[in-house]
Structure 1
Amino acid sequence: MSSTDLGNGRNGDRDFIQSIERGFAVLHAFDDKDPNPTLAELASKTGLSRPAVRRILLTLQKLGYVASHGTRWSLTPRVLSIGQHYTSSHALVDSALPKLVEIAEHTSESASLGVLDGTEVVYAARVPVRRIMSINVSVGTRVPAFATSMGRALLAWSPRELVDQVLERTQFQRFTDSTIDNADDLRAELARIREQGYALTLAELEDGLITLAAPVFDTTGHAVGVLACSTSTGRHTPGSFRDLAAKRVVDCAERLSSELGYRLH
């Protein structure tokens, strides 16, 4: 994120506090690829000046959200409290957890709840059974919406305007030879997903990974989340996994939607 991006489209907004945005930009610059960056590396990632990043880090340090280790910095466990407050106050997460346990017990595979955030899906809850992905999947993990069954299940039932915005901002990347890497093919896939009622991907984010997801709707009929289940080609074919998981995942998603007030007309 550059300093230009930080102020983009917000000039003249008297209610916008840019210093808070810059503080979050620094927090978001810590990731699994670089969990202990230097001040200079954070400045490069955010596009902010080194003095500005230094002041932000010292403020976050006094608040208990970051710690210094010589020239390097790291997040502290206190940052987890932000996500914990979201989890404890969000009805979607509370209602989803029993459904995730049901899916995991039925399939003997990991089950997850995902929500859309920009061009990515964020894991909001997860019931792990076994590690089937080389990437570290936990609550808070982000994955690209375009290359995952979770993202596609959310986009397939989202308003066209939102889909257009997401696809315009998506940087299509070929993670494997099977990844759909352009907007036209993805739109066609979203139409197919709507017809069958769930999304299934094979080796698009990672070789050997099979995932299946179904949307969750709120009382207004908006897709607010997605229930998903994942396995590997070492355990299932796409067909056998569909037979095992599709009905259960869709059923759990429909029951969760009903609990959130959604009524199919």
Structure 2
Amino acid sequence: MNPTLPAATPAVPVIPSTPAPKVKISPATALEVYTGDPNFMASLARGLVVIQAFTPQTPQMTISQLSVRTGLSRAAVRRCLYTLVKLGFAGSDETQRYSLRPKMLTLANTYTASSTLANAAQPILERMSSTLHESFSVATLDGDDIVYIARTSVTRVMSVDLHIGSRLPAFCTSMGRVLLAYLPQDQLELYLSRATFTQFTPRTITSADKLRLALRNVRRNGYALVDQELEIGLRSLAVPVQAPNGRVVATVNLSGHAPRMPMLEMQTRFLTHLRGAAAELSVFLR
């Protein structure tokens, strides 16, 4: 008799593993890394968290809304707002919705007035705008965002109004791509490990691998050209501003409406001007 053969084990389909979604931590949770540091002023840090919670999209908020947005307790938010109101940096209306007051501008003006780069950039951008009739900006990297430190605008190129102090995500903007491309490798990998790749348009790069490739191209070409990744109809070109030690500390860019500004024209007509402005700015960093 033939021996009985064991029944074949059915094949188990291999399901490709998917990376766990990044958990976005609240600003209050991010402060926990400083727990135990005797020199860290937690109350000041909480006040700054509350200030940064106000945005152009949410200029007025209640204590409850601020508590949700910041991750701070209602009691902590209330104390921060009480202090800001007493000092004139914030106020509230009859419905107890809080907003920042014009006195807050003194903090930004202090930075602008003391920043050699910002002071040097503004007249350079104004000269280019006067000659070329386009919008130009200078920005630096702050966390995962770029922050505008100088800007001239001849027409509004985005649905939101950009100004000094405006913040945009670094991964999908030309200025952000430049600043990320020249980061030390360990800092870049840290950024990629925590970044949230929001898909703003169908053209937006939404993966770390694709962004790495785009950043390699930026380093090879010496500029970043981003086509409608942040907003449909917006196209921008940026170049690095280097300190004497070679470190890229800022970036200067041109932004315009895609329908009237072909990508080839941006490179052939404006790239030389941007590089010239970047070279001028580099002189002020010596």
Normalization by structure 2: what TM-score?
Answer: 0.88
Deviation digits for residues 87-115 of structure 1, max 9, x if unmatched?
10011111112221233234311100101
Segments of structure 2 that go 5 or more residues without pairing to the other structure are: 1-25
What is the match of residue 65 of structure 1?
A: 89
Letter in 2 for 1:117: D
* 2: CA distance, partners of 1:152 / 1:102: 25
- Asked if 1:27 is matched to 2:51, the reply is yes
- Asked if 1:43 is matched to 2:70, the reply is no
What is the match of residue 143 of structure 1?
A: 168
Letter in 1 for 2:65: E
Question: Would you say the 8 A contact 2:116–2:284 is kept in 1?
Answer: no
Higher relative contact order (CA 8 A, sep 6+): 1
Name which of 84, 87, 93 aligns with 2:109. Answer: 84
- Asked if 1:218 is matched to 2:247, the reply is no
* 2: CA distance, partners of 1:196 / 1:218: 19
* 1: CA distance, partners of 2:250 / 2:27: 30
How far off its partner does 1:169 sit?
Answer: 2.0
- Asked if 1:120 is matched to 2:120, the reply is no
Deviation digits for residues 124-164 of structure 1, max 9, x if unmatched?
11011111110221111100000000001111122112211
SS of corresponding position for 2:179: helix
Structure 1 residue runs of 4 or more that deviate by more than 4 Å after TM superposition: none
Alignment of structure 1 residues 1-265 onto 2, 5 Å = 1-7=26-32, 9-70=33-94, 71-261=96-286
Segments of structure 1 that go 5 or more residues without pairing to the other structure are: none
Normalization by structure 1: what TM-score?
Answer: 0.94
Question: Would you say the 8 A contact 1:119–1:170 is kept in 2?
Answer: yes
Percent of paired sites with the same residue: 40
Question: Would you say the 8 A contact 1:198–1:250 is kept in 2?
Answer: no
- Superposition RMSD on alpha carbons, in Å? 1.3
Letter in 2 for 1:35: P
Letter in 1 for 2:51: L
Deviation digits for residues 26-79 of structure 1, max 9, x if unmatched?
111111121110111011111112122111111100011001102101100111
